A and B are shown apart, each in its own frame.
Chain A
Amino acid sequence: MPRILELPASEIVRKVKVQEISVEEYISECFERIRTADPKIHAFLTLTEDYALMRAREIDSRIRRGEKVGSLAGVAVAVKDNICTMGVRTTCASKMLESFIPIYDATVIERLKAQDAVIVGKTNMDEFAMGSSTEQSAFGPTLNPYDLERVPGGSSGGSAASVASFEATVSLGSDTGGSVRCPASFCGVVGLKPTYGLVSRYGLIAFANSLEQISPIGRTVADVATVMDCISGHDSRDSTSVNTGPTSLRSHLIEDVSGIRLGVPKELFGEGTEEAVSKGVWNAINRLIGLGATCEEVSLHSLKYALASYYIIAMSEASSNLARYDGLRYGFRLEDDDCDWSEAYSRNRREGFGPEVKRRIMLGTYALSAGYYNQYYLRAQRVRTLIRQELSRVFKNFDLLASPTMPILPYRLGEKLRDPLEMYMCDVDTVTANLAGIPAVSIPCSSHQGLPIGVQFMAPPFREDLLIRVSYTLEKNLELDLKPAV
């Protein structure tokens, strides 16, 4: 594999700008790599090779002419297939949207393009982002680059696997309850879920609006910071977007954790946590203590109810969001139309959605129904408020909270498919950040039998800078022996 594919984004931009390499060469190498690796891992659903090469040549010629280029000039980006790309089909890994081609770019895509990033393709995911293993894709699963018999995590499995296997330099995923941090952990890469409202959701096909954020994935903390600085900041098309400018996280790539107060919530090292995971995470925490951080165990009682509350809210919102897919205006539509609209809707939805999507629509519909609304949805919202309050109290005494990202190591394909509840339980450590709207990062901290283990840090709202600083320090001070199998 050519060394250029291993370089961080900032190095690629530098080399491209001084014409040490051309964008065209580098992008061509990416597609060579995809042709070798992707038949094994299936990270991509759609490749945009012609478009990417055209963009590459265009950026090259601007550089040759001495014109200004953007902060991500030439960098190959893979994009999760629930983020709308103008003219490029956006399927949500669902038969329902198999042929859906948006006529608009998501705000994040506009911003990437404005900084001359090059989109190489759309990545696989659990259908409508509903899952934690990328096995729920209507187009077949993605496999873990470290072990082709294991899942890459999900739902942004394709985005994490593509970066882990050097098919792209960075990628975008979306994180509703851990959908970026989970695959980042399983694939040995860095994933950052920003504070709710920091990145525009315009163009992100909604699963659970109040929880999710588009989130960057990279092989290094610096790459994640670079992408965040490009995509973050207010967007008038998203009413929930906060009124701040873009982040400047690159200026927080500082190797210094002295005086940082880490809290370790007991509840996030629950009984389902595998020993290897627990050991790996404590190893990282101890490393930080060695570098000047302090650490204390804390208890957050409300977290016991986080998972239940998360699933009720996410499914409720999903049941309403996905109502629009009826086949009338776009998307999957059965040929046989000789029936009334209501029957046609039922048939289109019955055929177009996969089993996990249907399960969540039904559960969400139930939770919002008259007579159950108070018992489920409202109660879940009250838990959410409690969690927020408890976290804001805890953050008075701690700068960050540390925990495993996933309680378990990457598991074998099919292992958890039969019992949805078992699959849901895997999100136990990640959902808290989404419920509270706070930022969280997963970075590789250890490995067990060649499988990556991720540590998660959570910070108060808008303190991505702290996450970046601590992650960067850890990254510089851990010697990890992680080599993908592809």
Chain B
Amino acid sequence: MHVETVPELKVKIGLEVHCQLTNLKSKLFCSCSADYRDSEPNTHICPVCMGMPGTLPVLNRKAVEDAIMIALALNMQVSSRTLFYRKNYFYPDMPKNFQISQYDRAGGVPIAKDGYVTIDGGRKVRISRLQLEEDPGKLVYEGTIETSKATLVDYNRAGVALAEIVTEPDITSPREARIFLQKLRSILEHLGVSSGELEGSMRCDANISIEGGTRVEVKNISSFKEVERALNFEMTRQRSLIRKGLRIGRETRHWDELRRVTVTLRVKEEEEDYRYFPEPDLVPILISREDVERLRASMPELPDSRKRRLMEQYGISMQNAEVLTDNKALAEFFEACAANYSRPDLLSNWIVGDLLSYLYDMGLELRETKLTPQHMVGMLRLIDDGTISGKIGKEVLKEIMVTGEAPENVVKARGLIRISDREYLERLTDRVFEENPKAVKDALKDEKAVRFLVGQLMKLTEGKADPQLANILVRNRLKASAGK
């Protein structure tokens, strides 16, 4: 059979990320508390964010400062004058039936434009635009959209400040999209303007096209993991259409998280006309050079410089430094541990390797575990002083993440202390030799059988025997038997 190998067509992805400015105390245009999570529906509302007749918006200047800081962190050009626009469309989650946003079409001036984010040790993803807008409320259904008798609306979120960050289509794979988003989130967290850990605080729409094909927009993606999934699905769908010689229509699709497919939301021909015009109730935002420079001077350390510092200060590898700084909480955890631990390279391996994979398996954020730097360091010291083996250390780590117990206590309570009692182990070795006569015979000429015997000894002690000592004892016993 003749198999034709076709090189995979290249994929181009652009992202539109909406980040809530969660450090703000109040909403973008009124004094309602923006900290609405876990509150009863419709309790964080006032006449202004409900768009009651006669009320007027007043801009939260702190939101503009946040936006400028983001712009500087993303290497963008900050505008000296920018306007809010009304984006008009009817939808029940918007109290005014228009959204106060900025003009995103040709001729519009966003708060900042033309920047970039560096990912994967050097590749640049260009950022085309950063703008401010208000978050709509939330539609709530009883059960699912299909079965719910009514649509309920919770306006607590309506009016919360959003920074919209739009990339150029520079992303080349779904995985890279996730890496970019992680980096972006880490930058925002380092700036202290947005906490990506809060549910729904970072939301994302994606544009994806296959080389030479039409651009398709995918909406309603709730998390970074979902972004990768949705884009993988969409990439496969588009490639298979192209292979079949079918045309890809310009459309907006919806990511169905449960069924893990994208479905058509609307085709582009019926795109809505938002009738943008300048918001007459607000005045232009003027941003002076002095404002920008003052904010630049007050910028905290960002992931890229932190990465370089971690490498220099602690002598850890670039890969580890990059992983650590992709997540502000992780970087902070590392530094808190390193302050009390003399082998930072080893520490970084533990965090980047074991800790991260346990977090991933458990589906938790670091802050959702009970792990403290003291306990992490305590566990490592138990290994260092030979109280437990590295393998036991992994078990201990998993347990203290969940229970918050001190590692010493876990080791004691579960009897995990390494057994270095020579006499005791010698008795057990005798037992191993008695129970495995064939292996003993083979062991005289086969190294594999030796390791098998050591393994049996470890198994009898549930892994707690000092592995070096076990090795020595088995070999001694073999020599002794051979000498008989």
Q: Using a CB–CB distance below 8 Å, which chain A residues touch chain B?
A: 82-84, 90, 92, 97, 100, 102-104, 106, 201-206, 208-210, 236-240, 316-317, 319-320, 323-324, 326, 328-330, 341-342, 345, 365, 368-370, 373, 377
Contacts and interface: CB of A to CB of B under 8 A. Distances in A.
A237 B92 CA distance: 26
B277 A320 contact: yes
Nearest to B282: A239
A324 B54 contact: no
A236 B31 CA distance: 12
Contacts of A365: 275
A276 to B, nearest CB: 38
A90 B280 CA distance: 23
A239 B56 contact: yes
A211 B96 CA distance: 20
B97 interface: yes
- Which 4 residue pairs of A and B lie closest in terms of their CB atoms, listed nearest first? A323-B97, A368-B275, A209-B280, A210-B280
A341 B275 contact: no
B151 interface: yes
A106 B56 CA distance: 11
B98 A102 contact: no
Contact of A204 (B51, B54, B59, B97): B54
Contacts of A317: 277, 280
Contact of B273 (A82, A206, A324, A370): A370
Give the size range of B's interface with the partner.
Answer: 20 to 34
A323 B273 CA distance: 15
B283 A239 contact: yes
Given A104-B47, A328-B92, A320 B53 contact: no
Interface string B91-103: 0100111100000
B88 A368 contact: yes
Contacts of B50: 329
A123 to B, nearest CB: 16
Given A202-B56, A316-B277, A326 B47 contact: no
Contacts of B51: 324
Given A239-B281, A239-B283, A328-B92, A323 B54 contact: no
Nearest to A212: B280
Nearest to B50: A329
Contacts of B98: 320, 323
Contacts of A106: 54
B57 interface: yes
Interface string B61-103: 0000000000000000000000000101010100111100000
B281 A209 contact: yes
Nearest to A340: B151
Given A320-B98, A323-B98, A329-B50, A238 B56 contact: yes
A202 B96 contact: no
B282 A326 contact: no
Interface in B36-59: 47, 50-59
Nearest to B30: A237
A462 to B, nearest CB: 17
A324 B97 contact: yes
A373 B107 CA distance: 13
A3 to B, nearest CB: 37
Given A239-B58, A323-B97, A324-B95, A97 B53 contact: yes
A206 B53 CA distance: 7
Contacts of A342: 90
Interface in B344-387: none
A100 B151 CA distance: 24
Given A239-B281, A239-B282, A369-B273, A102 B54 contact: yes
A345 B90 contact: yes
Contacts of A102: 47, 52-54
B137 to A, nearest CB: 11
Nearest to A203: B54
Contact of A341 (B59, B92, B280): B92
B285 to A, nearest CB: 10
Contact of A201 (B47, B56, B97, B151): B56
A236 B97 CA distance: 25
A341 B277 contact: no
A323 B96 contact: yes
A209 B278 CA distance: 11
Given A320-B88, A345-B90, A100 B275 contact: no
Contacts of B86: 320
Contacts of A237: 56, 58
Nearest to B91: A341
Contacts of B95: 324, 329
A365 B277 CA distance: 11
Given A239-B281, A345-B90, A84 B56 contact: no
A452 B43 CA distance: 53
B239 to A, nearest CB: 34
Contacts of A373: 275-277
A84 B92 contact: no
Which of A82, A209, A320: most chain B CB closer than 10 A? A320
Contacts of A236: 58
Which of A100, A201, A203, A330: most chain B CB closer than 10 A? A203
A347 B51 CA distance: 21
Nearest to B51: A324
Given A92-B53, A106-B54, A324-B96, 12 more contacts: A100-B53, A201-B56, A206-B54, A206-B281, A239-B59, A320-B86, A326-B97, A341-B151, A342-B90, A345-B90, A370-B273, A377-B277
B27 to A, nearest CB: 14
A321 to B, nearest CB: 9
20 contacts: A82-B54, A90-B54, A100-B53, A202-B54, A202-B55, A206-B53, A208-B280, A239-B58, A239-B283, A317-B277, A323-B96, A324-B51, A324-B96, A330-B52, A341-B151, A365-B275, A369-B273, A370-B275, A373-B275, A373-B277
A205 B96 CA distance: 13
B29 to A, nearest CB: 9
Nearest to B155: A329
Nearest to A204: B54
A157 B282 CA distance: 30
Given A326-B90, A328-B92, A329-B50, A239 B275 contact: no
Nearest to B53: A205
Contacts of A104: 47, 52, 54-55
Given A369-B273, A373-B277, A323 B90 contact: yes
